[in-house]
Amino acid sequence: MTTSEQLFEKAKTLIPGGVNSPVRAFRSVGGTPLFMKSAKGPYLYDEDGRQYIELINSWGPMILGHAFEPVEKAVRDAIQHSFSFGAPTRKEVEMAELITTMVPSVEKVRMVNSGTEATMAAIRVARGFTNRDKIIKFEGCYHGHGDSFLIAAGSGAMTMGVPDSPGVTKATAADTLTAPFNDLAAVEALLDNNHNQVAAVILEPVVGNMGCVLPEPGFLEGIRSLCNKHGVVLIFDEVMTGFRLAKGGAQERFGIVPDLTTMGKIIGGGMPVGAYGGRADIMNMVSPAGPVYQAGTLSGNPIAMSAGLAMLHYLNEHPEVYTRLEEIGEKLTTGFRAGLVKAGLNYTINHIGSMFTMFMTERPVSNFIDAKTCDLPLFGRYFHAMLKRGVYLAPSQFESLFMSVALTDELVDQVILANEESLIEAMNKGE
């Protein structure tokens, strides 16, 4: 048994499913999850001392590579001054100023401890602001594990939500309406049929959580104008895309101004941090400025703020990071496309900047229904073939991969070669 296998056996007796977040368990690809011990730059090292090239980067945060020195130093400096005060600090002011500079639609911002907290608070504020109860979300978009977001609509976009998870009440589900991504007409119909009842539309402007799915031309613009027409708060969930697709996130890249934005992942530099912010008139609803309650004992934690500030300062001051990420993304996906051709496959690759997914389906993927046509057993075999060649991918077809600037051209070439070989191996094994 490998050390990872031993640890996983023990973990399963102590932690539900052996993991502290479900996708880590490798359920959708089979096999035993690798237990990680350390990481530096583009490499991960597991408990058995094996090295992997990183293509997840902690689901986004490690955009500058692991253990990036300025972030590490900021944390080292901060720990000398105590880990937490439960009182305001200078760093929180600096953080708010930096966020509002990088993401201009954010006039005021509140720090929290995860992306989940940020989205839960954002819809509460939108409801308080509009005095309405319902929200619209999109099938396949993930906004953390808050009750209101764990809803699928089945096939009918007009139907009320039904819970995805036991423990979410029917009453909560009934306030969540869902539409297929990229389907403006469905959103329009929901808004018409629920006149003056919808508080917010929330979406990932570029979806990462059903695999990488891009907004079709006009979709984000259309949502923006529907929200204006119906007095609905538009929330961009940029927990994945924020500070990644551009310094100012997807909203900068696509030129759309949301009312509220939720952030996470990169914003903490690897520490547990989230944030929500936006229009000052809406954010002034938040306690103690306004009546909408939201709080956190460890929110704005000085160690977490130090890591996040070091990360964001670096990104703000080094625009070449984004140029390089574009180059890496272009080179990697061009290589993956060539690999598909060599393997005689005509599968779909969705790509933007440093995010991409190779979907094991010939169908173009612009929503969750399309994504679900993928050959999942093939993906599982491909995943393990890549792992064997030292490339660490997301252990699910329905995830985006995230690149870091630590990927050198040589490493990109290695990954491209591994992809070619793995595709062929996965196909042969299936026969």
Active site residues: 142, 237, 265
At a CB cut-off of 8 Å and minimum separation 6, what does 403 contact?
55, 57, 325, 328, 329, 332, 354, 355
Chain residues 272-301 in contact with ligand PLP, contact rule CB under 6 A: 274
Tell me if 205 contacts ligand PLP by CB under 6 A: no
Nearer to ligand PLP, 265 or 384 (CB): 265
Give the integer Cα–Cα distance in Å for 263 and 288. Answer: 21
In a 13 Å sphere around the CA of 33, the CA atoms on its Cβ side amount to: 24
Tell me if 204 contacts ligand PLP by CB under 6 A: yes
Give the integer Cα–Cα distance in Å for 371 and 375. Answer: 10
Going by their DSSP bridges, the two strands 198-203 and 176-179 should be labelled as: unpaired
Nearer to ligand PLP, 116 or 404 (CB): 116
Q: In Å, what is the CA distance from 344 to each residue of 207, 263, 330, 338?
A: 28, 40, 21, 10
Backbone angles phi and psi of 56, in degrees to 5: -115, -40
Nearer to ligand PLP, 8 or 149 (CB): 149
Q: Which of 142, 181, 382, 398 binds ligand PLP (CB under 6 A)?
A: 142
If you search the block for the tokens 């001054």, which residue do you land on? 81
Q: Which of 91, 110, 134, 143 binds ligand PLP (CB under 6 A)?
A: 143
At a CB cut-off of 8 Å and minimum separation 6, what does 200 contact?
122, 123, 126, 127, 130, 135, 136, 232, 233, 234, 235, 260
Nearer to ligand PLP, 347 or 392 (CB): 392
DSSP element (H, E) containing 431: none
Hey, what amino acid is at 151? I
Among the listed ranges 204-212, 214-222, 299-307, 327-335, the one in contact with ligand PLP (CB under 6 A) is 204-212
Least separation in angstroms between CB 347 and ligand PLP: 24
Among the listed ranges 140-148, 245-253, 335-343, 361-369, the one in contact with ligand PLP (CB under 6 A) is 140-148
Least separation in angstroms between CB 298 and ligand PLP: 14
Least separation in angstroms between CB 351 and ligand PLP: 17
Chain residues 152-181 in contact with ligand PLP, contact rule CB under 6 A: none
Least separation in angstroms between CB 114 and ligand PLP: 4
Tell me if 148 contacts ligand PLP by CB under 6 A: no
Least separation in angstroms between CB 272 and ligand PLP: 7
Give the integer Cα–Cα distance in Å for 41 and 221. Answer: 38
Least separation in angstroms between CB 59 and ligand PLP: 6
Count of chain residues binding ligand PLP (CB under 6 A):
15
Dihedral (Cα; 282, 283, 285, 289), 10-degree rounding: -140
Nearer to ligand PLP, 144 or 308 (CB): 144
Q: Whole-angstrom distance between the N-terminal and C-terminal Cα of the chain?
A: 28
Q: Which of 33, 161, 180, 208 binds ligand PLP (CB under 6 A)?
A: 208
Least separation in angstroms between CB 399 and ligand PLP: 9
Judged on CB neighbours under 10 Å (0-12, 13-18, 19+), 131 is exposed
Tell me if 115 contacts ligand PLP by CB under 6 A: yes
At a CB cut-off of 8 Å and minimum separation 6, what does 37 contact?
45, 46, 47, 49
Nearer to ligand PLP, 300 or 339 (CB): 300
Nearer to ligand PLP, 28 or 194 (CB): 28
Tell me if 399 contacts ligand PLP by CB under 6 A: no
Q: Which of 116, 301, 306, 422 binds ligand PLP (CB under 6 A)?
A: 116
Nearer to ligand PLP, 236 or 347 (CB): 236
If you search the block for the tokens 């679900």, which residue do you land on? 372
Least separation in angstroms between CB 77 and ligand PLP: 25
In a 13 Å sphere around the CA of 216, the CA atoms on its Cβ side amount to: 11
Whether omega for the bond prior to residue 288 falls within 30 degrees of 0, making it cis, is: yes
Q: In Å, what is the CA distance from 425 to each residue of 83, 334, 358, 384?
A: 49, 20, 16, 10
Taking alpha carbons only, the member of 407, 409, 399, 410 closest to residue 59 is: 399
Among the listed ranges 156-164, 201-209, 211-219, 372-380, the one in contact with ligand PLP (CB under 6 A) is 201-209
- Token readout for 225 is 């104008």
| Contact string 232-271 vs ligand PLP (x = CB under 6 A) | -----x-xx-----------------------x-------
Which residues of the chain form contacts with ligand PLP (CB under 6 A)?
114-116, 119, 142-144, 204, 208-209, 237, 239-240, 264, 274
